[in-house]
Amino acid sequence: MGNLAELKKIYPEKFATEDKIFDNIHPGDRIFIGTGCGEPQHLVRALINYVQSHPKAFFDAEVLQVWTLGVAPYADEKFKDTFRHNSFFIGNNTRAAVNKGVADYTPIFLSAVPNLFYTRRIPVDVALIQTSLPDDHGYMSLGISVDIVKAAVESASLVIAQVNSYMPRVHGETFINIKNVDFIVPYDEPLLEFQASVPDDIAQRIGTYVSRIIQDGDTIQVGYGTIPNAILSHLNNKKNLGIHTELLTDGVIERGCR
């Protein structure tokens, strides 16, 4: 792995203080935040701390994100003049804000989001991401969260990366080079983890009823959550089921859908 101390000597301008980094965010900017378990928790906390200590630094910023497993303070009503959250998926941590009308939801297929960034129908001004340690050639992996993050990085005017030794180096189209990152914030912390919920009695009854209308050879689409998990748990006696989905959950893999 690359030595951050050596890279700091080569690219000293990329290792600024957090205040100096966030000084580059402007009123009205669209700020993308990495997805799910790959969310850069430290950068989110640092951004909120910056806003609280510099209340007039910027306003009317739009926060773009697919799904957050962490705390989503930018969706809190007290920050309504600073941030407007726009989610491509409604999760538990943002549902209340969307329901109250203080955050937005853009319904769209996940696979369609990158093109919105590349064509700048939704421009990304700032991308807050999390990566693995760089290798000897300065390449860092987006690790466990690539999805639309790579498109956001390649489209953003300003890229801020939290480099975390806990983030694994994953092969494939996951790599970005330090030359294409504007600021590096080294900060180690455990990654967020998704914990599957256990279906309750109501969900199990729903799963029983739905399983009765699914026939052998059917093709199904399954989301994630308590009810989809309950439905899948009642499909053990089905044969030759197909799956057409953007999302593969543990339940799909366990049931052997194809």
pLDDT digits (tens, 9 = 90+) for 23-51: 999 999 999 999 889 999 999 999 999 99
Listing DSSP states for 98-158 in one string gives HHHTSEEE----GGGHHHHHHTTSS--SEEEEEE----TTSEEE-TT--TTHHHHHHH-SE
Mean pLDDT across 156-183: 96
**21 has pLDDT over 70:** yes
**225 has pLDDT over 80:** no
**1 has pLDDT over 60:** no
Looking at the DSSP bridge assignments, the partners of residue 127 are 32, 159
- In the chain, the N- to C-terminal Cα span, in Å, equals 38
Would you kindly state where each structural domain of the chain is located, as residue ranges?
A: 4-186, 201-255
Backbone phi, then psi, for 86, in 5-degree steps?
-125, 110
Residue 214: alpha-carbon gap to chain centroid? 32
| 96 vs 2, higher pLDDT | 96
Contact 94, 103 (CB under 8 A): yes
DSSP state of 198: P
- Give the pLDDT confidence score for residue 197 in this predicted structure: 67
Q: What is the pTM of this model?
A: 0.84
pLDDT category, 70, cuts 50, 70, 90? low
| Dihedral of alpha carbons 5, 9, 11, 14, sign | positive
Percentage of the chain with pLDDT > 90? 49
- Give the pLDDT confidence score for residue 213 in this predicted structure: 93
pLDDT digits (tens, 9 = 90+) for 97-128: 788 887 888 888 888 999 999 999 999 999 99
Amino acid at 141: S
| CA atoms of 225 and 24, how far apart (whole Å) | 38
Catalytic residues: 246
User: Residue for token digits 């799956």?
Assistant: 243
For the 201-255 domain, the top CATH level (class) is: alpha beta
Report the C-alpha dihedral over residues 202, 203, 205, 206, rounded to 10 degrees: 120
| Dihedral of alpha carbons 38, 245, 84, 180, sign | positive
Fold of 4-186: Glutaconate Coenzyme A-transferase (3.40.1080)
**2 has pLDDT over 80:** no
Contact 63, 83 (CB under 8 A): yes
Looking at the DSSP bridge assignments, the partners of residue 124 are none
Backbone phi, then psi, for 124, in 5-degree steps?
-110, 115
